Structure 1
Amino acid sequence: MTGESATLRAPARPLGLFESGRLLTALRGAVLLLAAGAVLMIVRLPWIGDMGVHAATVERLRHDLFHPGNPMVDSPTDSPYYSPWTVCLALFAKATGLDTFDVLRCAAVVGLIVLATGVRRFVRTLSPHPAAPLLAVLCLLLLWGVRPFIWSGFLGLTSLSANASYPSTFATGLGFHLLALLTQAHRRPDGTGLSSYAGYAGLGLLWALLMLSHQFTGVVFTFGALGVLVAAPGRPARAVAPRLAAALAVGLTALAVWPYYSFFALLGAGGLEEIHQPLYRAPWALFTLVPLGVLALAVRFRRDRRDPLVVWFLLGLVTVGAGAVLDKWSLGRTEPAVVMPAQLAAALCVLDGGARRLRAAFAVVLAGALAAGLWVQRDALTFVMRADALPKAVTRDAWKVWQTPAWTTRYTAYGDVFMTGDLGAARTLPGYGGYTVEAGYPDFFLPDEKQRAADTARYFAPGTPRAERLALLRKYDVKWVLQRPSRGGLPAGDPALREVRKGPDGRVLYEVLDAG
């Protein structure tokens, strides 16, 4: 069976319950309820995960669009966080004068809209059934495992609740739009529209925008694009290959000329394995419900060995497997290339998955799995409501949202350097305009990253001589020390420090008076 016949075939006769207007209304209600939760989450904008580095990125660009330097520390280095998306956010911030966190709220709105429309558009290329996009959204959010987790580029409800304002959400939506446009381009037998050279050049630019905005997500959807190409109708290769070559050339050129960082230098990035190893620990707990989608993929594979979701899944599976075999844990970030096609296949299997009774049975199992997934990820409620307003059954395993150092901005100035041994403070202070001695996030573009970490540890270590501590403050032109009283460092009564204020989170802000 050809890719064209598999992709364009009329769907099997829908189940009676999916012909019911009541069920469609229920599905729409469920998605709208999740959307309402997303609105509340955007208002609260929970401080967790990578929020600090994304806020800092916007801060640096809005202050100096052409030479922003490192987002976290006072160093004139490049950063892969300076993507076309964050540059647009900074331009929006400069044009409107909005606070950085209000800009991130706007980013979350746009990112979720791009994601929702992208999923709908791509699913429409796979099935014309009106329930398909709704079921796809629910499967993408809920069909995960028994242990919720948060990673950029992973669409679980808990993860997305924390990551909606991140570039990965925008990039994921962009990726679904890319797959939809590429599918449509290969369905046109003429040489017009997206099938023209200009159309393919546009696809190349879209791919480059995706790769620059979030590199791991770019790889995931590159696999998806390859799946679409493998499943494309049987047009003559000599007619398609030059257009694809033109698209690739345009995309690679855009990657090469991006001025804020060297994209191709990322290929030699090191130091990323340890932080990604958790993605390979207990995968049965992280992806417990995904095998249901793998079963649906098997059904699609029996019908068409060139099915785009199957090819996408297999490419992701090989890459993730290679990471496990080679101890390249960073390849775990391509796990969405395994999970998302399985989730989409599960949604479509109910609507066009073979015999009516089998589809009915699968629908019952899928409904139970979605209900289980919703319960497992109930902790997402803590991102939209106060913990004391929720039952203990919901908040027992809730993620802890960080206390922000916003109170320090009353005393400090943009660009001041802080010495802090608190990881939470190191990750949040740059979002309010400050710099820290030690970068709060891994950064292989920062040549003295390890030295900065060692100097910070040395400053707070017991027994470090006073003269050495003062020398470290001078080395980095430190103006403030933010620490908990028991953390170490110079004692509170040292003449080089002046206590300014005790914060609501127990940390104390000291001004550095004399590091000479």
Structure 2
Amino acid sequence: MRAAPRSSATTVGRVLPPAAAALVLVLLLLVIVRLPWVGDLGMHAATIERLRHSLLHPGNPLVDADTPSPYYSPWMLVLGALARLSGLSVFVVLRVGALVGLALLITGVWRYVRTLGRHPAAPASALLCLLFLWGPAVFDWSGFLGLNSLALTVSYPSVFALGLSFHLWAWLSGASRAGGGWGVWLGLGVLWAVILLVHQFTGLVASLGALATVLAVRPGRTVLLRLVAGLVVGTAVLWVWPYYDFFSLFSAGAELEAIHRPLYERLAGRFGLVLLGVVALGLRWRRDRWDPLVLFFALGVVVFAAGGVSGHYSWGRVLPAALIPAQLAAALEVFAGGRRAVRIGWAGVLGVVLVVGAWAQVGTVGYVVGKGALPSAVAEKYREPWTGYGWITPWVKYGDVVMVRTRPARQIPAYGAYTVAPGYPDVFLPDARQREAAVREYFAAGTSGQARQRIAREYGVRWVVDRADALRGATPGGETSGNVASGGERSGGTASAGAGLRVVARGPGGQALYRVVR
């Protein structure tokens, strides 16, 4: 007896999502080769650089101080050891980390989605929804899986932690239903702790997803006892981690609220397309009041809303706990039971919405081909990555202290130097505010040359990076020397700075590198 031929719609449904997902993955692999610089990349590069030089006592990653740091996680320790043993540059190591993180994310999504639906195209459809079901306005933030955001953060620990989170949920789902042995649950506890240590905000998302997974199964006494044992082991791992005190981070929210307030702004523009997933969650809730995605979404919304109401804006980082289940629900609804015409209609609507979301993030292609190769309509959506500071490395050596403003302070430590004040909030640095005040005073228009020299001596400053000749006139006169043009090529001529400073190099954007003359 011959099998009934597949309809064209069925064939498209099986072939199109995997093909589209494969193209997106190729794009992300090419992005890893280019590794566009923006946001926290310098922080993570600096962390690897410190661990390369000392795995046991790396010190503060940004300033010359012996303090712990939450950036010294198990994953960064692995990458630091790789850099130390291999001799590879930190940027090559970050690319290796990006490949591992992306692989974990893809395999984690595949495993977790398979616990929710068995259709062979479901994992690919889920991946497309995670990347494109966002909003008409591009939103970039670590821990958020929009395509443009992922392209810029693919080497960040948050991607590695998200990949582990999907594996945690998949593993936990199977253990909760099958009643895994003690070893399985203890391993789950260790994995949960590792995620929290690697990226604390993603760890919160992972915890809410894990709670939803367990609640959906409504396990018996035996499973609950083993779950508690896993939590005890995980808590012990958090407690003994030697590089920073994990539990002290609970009192650090005040330092982070202002930075995270934008997470509560422009919600419709950034996440409006996710409403389709909310509709899908409603359909799933009608079929099963204990659906894990519905519970996951509800937990995420409650915590996110509580953060907005209470002014704890750092709680906004839990938003992926609401977005991820909605995006997955939208993808899985295509393969839900029911009338075939309804499923085809849902697939058509979802396809249109995904095209809208993809067009909003089409500028991501520019990270591979460059802005000049993009059509004008696409180029308008392209966001220029940051320019690096490799041009200072012929002079600035590992461990040198550089006086800079906030933006360069987020990049220069990637090359091994320290800055006077950290470019990011640092809850473990006791004199962070004094350092920030010193930087403000140094660059203030009315600060005298003598005051600048005093600040430079106090913090051991050897170099200053600022706009070319911005410091001229601090006091009359100054020393001169040959300078270096943009791109690092020596050129004739002299450049004058304030007393105690000498221009030795010029870089992109009209910047200059000043040597502090003692």
Please tell me the TM-score bracket, short chain as reference. over 0.9
- Report the Cα distance in structure 1 between the residues aligned to 2:114 and 2:498, rounded to whole angstroms: 67
Contact (CA 8 Å) 2:361, 2:381: kept in 1 or not? Answer: no
Question: 1:246 aligned to 2:229?
Answer: yes
Cross-structure match for 1:362: 346
Cα deviation per residue 1:433-490 (whole Å; 9 max; x = unaligned)? Answer: 0011121111111111121111111111111122111100001000001110254474
Cross-structure match for 1:11: none
Cross-structure match for 1:221: 206
Give 1:95 deviation, angstroms: 1.8
Corresponding residue to 1:317 among 297, 301, 309: 301
Contact (CA 8 Å) 2:151, 2:364: kept in 1 or not? Answer: yes
Corresponding residue to 1:47 among 37, 60, 64: 37
SS at structure 2 position matched to 1:69: coil
Contact (CA 8 Å) 2:130, 2:327: kept in 1 or not? Answer: yes
Corresponding residue to 2:502 among 498, 503, 512: 498
- Report the Cα distance in structure 2 between the residues aligned to 1:281 and 1:397, rounded to whole angstroms: 20
Cα deviation per residue 1:35-57 (whole Å; 9 max; x = unaligned)? Answer: 11111111111110110100000
- Report the Cα distance in structure 2 between the residues aligned to 1:200 and 1:117, rounded to whole angstroms: 21
Contact (CA 8 Å) 1:404, 1:425: kept in 2 or not? Answer: no
Cross-structure match for 1:8: none
Describe the shift of the 1:16–1:331 C-alpha distance in structure 2 as closer, same or farther (beyond 3 A): farther
Cross-structure match for 1:406: 390
Task: Output the amino acid matched with 1:511.
Answer: R
Contact (CA 8 Å) 2:59, 2:67: kept in 1 or not? Answer: yes
Give the gaps of 5 or more residues in structure 2: 1-5, 476-495
Contact (CA 8 Å) 2:195, 2:203: kept in 1 or not? Answer: yes
Give 1:297 deviation, angstroms: 0.4
Task: Output the amino acid matched with 1:392.
Answer: S
SS at structure 1 position matched to 2:504: strand
Cross-structure match for 1:202: 187
Contact (CA 8 Å) 2:304, 2:316: kept in 1 or not? Answer: yes
Cα deviation per residue 1:99-122 (whole Å; 9 max; x = unaligned)? Answer: 100000000000000000000000
Corresponding residue to 2:10 among 15, 19, 23: 19
Corresponding residue to 1:33 among 23, 44, 51: 23
Cα deviation per residue 1:155-206 (whole Å; 9 max; x = unaligned)? Answer: 00010000000000000000000000001112215xxxxx111110000000
User: Percent sequence identity over matched residues?
Assistant: 49
SS at structure 1 position matched to 2:71: coil
Give 1:93 deviation, angstroms: 1.1
- Report the Cα distance in structure 1 between the residues aligned to 2:319 and 2:9, rounded to whole angstroms: 31
Give 1:353 deviation, angstroms: 5.1
Cα deviation per residue 1:317-347 (whole Å; 9 max; x = unaligned)? Answer: 0001101111111111000000000000000
- Report the Cα distance in structure 2 between the residues aligned to 1:312 and 1:471, rounded to whole angstroms: 55
Cα deviation per residue 1:13-41 (whole Å; 9 max; x = unaligned)? Answer: xx955631x44332222111111111111
Question: 1:122 aligned to 2:112?
Answer: yes
Cross-structure match for 1:7: none
- Report the Cα distance in structure 2 between the residues aligned to 1:487 and 1:57, rounded to whole angstroms: 30
Task: Output the amino acid matched with 1:24.
Answer: R
Cross-structure match for 1:4: none
Corresponding residue to 2:332 among 348, 354, 372: 348
Contact (CA 8 Å) 2:46, 2:413: kept in 1 or not? Answer: yes
Bigger mean CA deviation after superposition, 425-434 or 386-395? 386-395
SS at structure 1 position matched to 2:440: helix
Give 1:238 deviation, angstroms: 1.9
SS at structure 2 position matched to 1:231: helix
Cross-structure match for 2:463: 480
- Report the Cα distance in structure 2 between the residues aligned to 1:29 and 1:487, rounded to whole angstroms: 53
Question: 1:97 aligned to 2:87?
Answer: yes
Cross-structure match for 2:516: 512
Cross-structure match for 2:488: none
Contact (CA 8 Å) 1:125, 1:180: kept in 2 or not? Answer: yes
> TM-score w.r.t. structure 1 length?
0.93
Task: Output the amino acid matched with 1:406.
Answer: G
- What is the RMSD computed on CA atoms of the aligned residues? 1.4
Contact (CA 8 Å) 1:417, 1:477: kept in 2 or not? Answer: yes
Give 1:357 deviation, angstroms: 2.6
Bigger mean CA deviation after superposition, 391-400 or 40-49? 391-400
Cross-structure match for 1:5: none
Bigger mean CA deviation after superposition, 487-496 or 102-111? 487-496
Question: 1:304 aligned to 2:288?
Answer: yes
Corresponding residue to 2:152 among 152, 162, 179: 162
Describe the shift of the 1:477–1:47 C-alpha distance in structure 2 as closer, same or farther (beyond 3 A): same
Give 1:246 deviation, angstroms: 0.6
Cross-structure match for 1:330: 314
Contact (CA 8 Å) 2:117, 2:332: kept in 1 or not? Answer: yes
- Report the Cα distance in structure 1 between the residues aligned to 2:273 and 2:190, rounded to whole angstroms: 36
Give the gaps of 5 or more residues in structure 1: 1-14, 190-194
- Report the Cα distance in structure 2 between the residues aligned to 1:339 and 1:182, rounded to whole angstroms: 20
Task: Output the amino acid matched with 2:516.
Answer: V
- Report the Cα distance in structure 2 between the residues aligned to 1:83 and 1:54, rounded to whole angstroms: 11
Contact (CA 8 Å) 1:296, 1:353: kept in 2 or not? Answer: no
- Report the Cα distance in structure 2 between the residues aligned to 1:486 and 1:343, rounded to whole angstroms: 51
Contact (CA 8 Å) 1:427, 1:441: kept in 2 or not? Answer: yes
Corresponding residue to 1:63 among 38, 53, 61: 53
Describe the shift of the 1:495–1:467 C-alpha distance in structure 2 as closer, same or farther (beyond 3 A): closer
- Report the Cα distance in structure 1 between the residues aligned to 2:308 and 2:187, rounded to whole angstroms: 36
Give 1:247 deviation, angstroms: 0.1
Which structure ranks higher in relative contact order (CA pairs < 8 Å, sequence separation ≥ 6)?
Answer: 1
- Report the Cα distance in structure 1 between the residues aligned to 2:297 and 2:7, rounded to whole angstroms: 30
Cα deviation per residue 1:287-343 (whole Å; 9 max; x = unaligned)? Answer: 110010000000110111111000000000000110111111111100000000000
Cross-structure match for 2:216: 231
